[in-house]
């Protein structure tokens, strides 16, 4: 997957005035899913992303492939069933990136075991043939054996159930590669600056701008799909400045700690926090991730900030359940994601997580809402609508059994650091070959497993253009340990500069930009 080739393809069609079947705006899970689906059906597809693939919400999730236990509590059975099915399909199609994870709901009151026990049996039942393993009640001893760091005082027992875990940004990059493998043109750092319309006022293309050179491309399209998450309304306004907004935004933060805070390979699920939400504490890439919050926000930004009260809330809730209460100085990284929620009544935490397909009077097709787990189903639904809207030929959707780039039938285990290259699936071998060069086999920081060869691979094959791309989304350094990532910036910049043909001034600018950004991922 090479950016120069992608730009050439945009330029070529643009100059020839040749329309694409589908142009997708937005390179998160939703847009990339659409690109994969449409390309696999044989349509010509271009996807433009204004920043890097996954810069938005899709790299900032809780990393769960799940049906959503809490939606069950809200009585949304169809949503849970559909997500549980997608959970099973995703594990089947990307076993190198999705694995089963055991979650324990600890019980400190007598009523919790029967209450959560029955609820989670229903969860098992709804998964049907896509089940990940039966839930069961645990004794106090069994609970502590699974969660050695759990607060023992007052503990009566627990309930264990199973869901999926993944690496969101890595899956996104592999979806981009899947789309490219099937002939899609996917371009990062290429914002959609304007929409084109025909003489009747229907949207029939996109003006995209190469963020690196300023070159503009006129992308004619039979249908334009708006998959811009929390920026949905901004893109809809490009077609009609007077539209009624359809989105609201809420932010969720996660704190990352050393692995010892949780210990073991089992996740902790707190079913009801003091604000009535769910909190997860999960083992991920050899660290502990705790989240999340739900704070309504007036306007979306690409790099949202964690609020002090959100940080305190997670520390406080986690402290009630862990023998070693984490403090601010234990936080290795904090990351913040924005939920694209479709407007409705009530609190943001109770708004539906169903996806919504919306067609404006301009013909712009918007797909939004949903969640990572259901991206495939969302894409299928979107391309089905695109076929009708743009009168494209009927092609069946093949993605239920379409292997995702890197597919390898050895299940990943993201709880540990055991084999850091496992997430690359079938690409791991090529990275190991690069690492035959002793300089490229070196770790970039003693506290993280990432080696220099991964940065070289990211630049050569995964369209990484900046230090941030390499350290936030090709590796997950920034999300795991912001301090270590800051120290990795300079060696990473030098490796990238060599691959991308950049000079010393570029290296210095990259290091500064990345360090400024990474400070926001630290808790002082």
Contact pick of 26, 157, 264, 283 for ligand FAD (by CB under 6 A): 26
**Applying CB under 6 A, which part among 27-35, 458-466, 479-487, 503-511 lies near ligand FAD?**
27-35
**Which range of residues in 6-14, 63-71, 215-223, 311-319 is near ligand FAD by CB under 6 A?**
63-71
Among 185, 292, 382, 415, binds ligand FAD (CB under 6 A): 292
Q: Are 468 and 303 in contact (CB under 8 A)?
A: no
Nearer to ligand FAD, 367 or 497 (CB): 367
Q: In sequence order, what DSSP letters do the residues of 328-370 get, joined into one string?
A: GGG-SEEEEEEEEEE--SS-GGGS---EEEEE-TT--EEEEE-
Nearer of residues 186 and 435 to ligand FAD, judged by Cβ: 186
Give the CB-side neighbour count of residue 386, counting CA atoms within 13 A. Answer: 36
Rounded Cα–Cα distance for residues 281 and 270 (Å) = 8
Contacts of ligand FAD in 225-244 (CB under 6 A): 227-231, 235
Among 56, 304, 420, 425, binds ligand FAD (CB under 6 A): 56
Within 29-48, the residues that bind ligand FAD by CB under 6 A are 29-31, 48
Q: Based on the shown chain and the rule CB under 6 A, indicate whether residue 27 belongs to the binding site for ligand FAD.
A: yes
CB of 100 to ligand FAD, least distance (A): 15
**Burial group, residue 214, by CB count within 10 angstroms (0-12, 13-18, 19+):** exposed
Burial of 355 (0-12, 13-18, 19+ CB in 10 A): buried
Q: Which listed residue (21, 49, 163, 468) binds ligand FAD by CB under 6 A?
A: 49
φ, ψ of residue 186 to 5 degrees: the values are -120, 130
- HSE-CB of 333 using CA atoms within 13 angstroms: 24
H helices then E strands: how many in the chain?
16, 18
Tell me: does residue 249 bind ligand FAD (CB under 6 A): no
Helix/strand/coil for 22:
strand
DSSP code of residue 400: G
Residue range at the interface with ligand FAD (CB under 6 A); choices 100-108, 124-132, 304-312, 369-377: 369-377
Tallying the residues shown for the chain, one arrives at 524
Number of residues that bind ligand FAD (CB under 6 A): 39
- Give min distance, CB of 369 to ligand FAD, in A: 7
> Which residue is listed with tokens 């904090």?
334
Binding to ligand FAD by CB under 6 A, coded x per residue (else -) over 335-364, reads --xxxx------------------------
317-to-45, 101, 379 alpha-carbon distances in Å:
45, 22, 36
Q: Does 64 bind ligand FAD (CB under 6 A)?
A: yes
Nearest to 124 by CA among 112, 113, 133, 116: 133
Of 14, 44, 50, 204, which lies in the binding site for ligand FAD, with binding defined by CB under 6 A?
50
Residue 268, interface with ligand FAD (CB under 6 A)?
A: no
Binding-site ranges for ligand FAD (CB under 6 A): 25-31, 48-51, 55-58, 60-64, 66, 191-192, 227-231, 235, 252, 292, 337-340, 370-373
């Amino acid at each position: 997957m090479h950016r120069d080739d992608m730009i050439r393809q945009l330029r070529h069609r643009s100059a020839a005035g040749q329309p694409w079947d589908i142009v997708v705006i937005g390179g998160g899970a939703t847009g990339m899913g659409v690109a994969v689906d449409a390309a696999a059906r044989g349509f010509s597809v271009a996807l433009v992303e204004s920043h890097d693939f996954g810069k938005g919400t899709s790299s900032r999730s809780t990393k769960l492939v799940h049906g959503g236990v809490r939606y069950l509590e809200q009585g949304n059975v169809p949503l849970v069933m559909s997500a549980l099915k997608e959970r099973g399909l995703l594990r089947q199609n990307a076993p190198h990136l999705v694995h089963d994870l055991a979650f324990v709901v600890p019980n400190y009151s007598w009523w919790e075991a029967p209450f959560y026990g029955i609820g989670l049996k229903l969860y098992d039942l709804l998964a049907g043939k896509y089940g990940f393993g039966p839930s069961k009640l645990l004794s106090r001893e069994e609970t502590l054996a699974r969660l050695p760091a759990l607060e023992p005082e007052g503990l009566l027992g627990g309930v264990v159930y199973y869901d999926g875990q993944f690496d969101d940004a890595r899956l996104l990059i592999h979806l981009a590669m899947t789309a490219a493998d099937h002939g899609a043109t996917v371009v990062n750092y290429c914002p959609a600056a304007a929409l084109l319309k025909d003489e009747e006022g229907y949207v029939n293309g996109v003006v995209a701008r190469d963020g690196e050179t300023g070159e503009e491309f006129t992308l004619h399209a039979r249908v334009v799909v708006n998959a811009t998450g929390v920026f949905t309304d901004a893109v809809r306004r490009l077609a009609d400045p007077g539209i009624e907004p359809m989105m609201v935004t809420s932010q969720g933060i996660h704190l990352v700690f050393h692995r010892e805070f949780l210990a073991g390979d089992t996740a902790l699920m707190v079913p009801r926090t003091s604000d009535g939400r769910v909190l997860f504490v999960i083992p991920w890439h050899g660290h502990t991730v705790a989240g999340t919050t739900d704070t309504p926000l007036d306007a979306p930004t690409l790099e949202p900030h964690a609020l002090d009260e959100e940080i305190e809330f997670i520390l406080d809730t986690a402290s009630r359940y862990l023998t070693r209460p984490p403090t601010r100085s234990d936080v290795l990284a904090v990351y913040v994601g924005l939920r694209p929620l479709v407007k409705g009544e009530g609190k943001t935490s109770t708004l539906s997580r169903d996806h919504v397909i919306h067609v404006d009077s301009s013909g712009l097709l918007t797909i939004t809402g949903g969640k990572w787990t259901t991206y495939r189903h969302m894409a299928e639904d979107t391309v089905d609508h695109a076929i009708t809207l743009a009168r494209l030929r009927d092609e069946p959707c093949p993605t239920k059994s379409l292997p995702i780039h890197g597919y390898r039938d050895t299940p990943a285990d993201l709880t540990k650091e055991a084999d850091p290259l496992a997430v690359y699936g079938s690409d791991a071998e090529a990275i190991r070959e690069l690492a035959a060069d002793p300089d490229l086999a070196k770790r970039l920081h003693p506290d993280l497993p990432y080696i220099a060869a991964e940065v070289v691979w990211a630049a050569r094959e995964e369209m990484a253009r900046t230090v941030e791309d390499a350290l936030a989304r090709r590796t997950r350094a920034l999300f795991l340990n912001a301090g270590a990532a800051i120290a990795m910036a300079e060696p990473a910049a030098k490796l990238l500069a060599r691959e991308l043909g950049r000079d010393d001034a570029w290296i210095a600018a990259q290091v500064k930009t990345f360090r400024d950004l990474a400070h926001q991922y630290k808790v002082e």
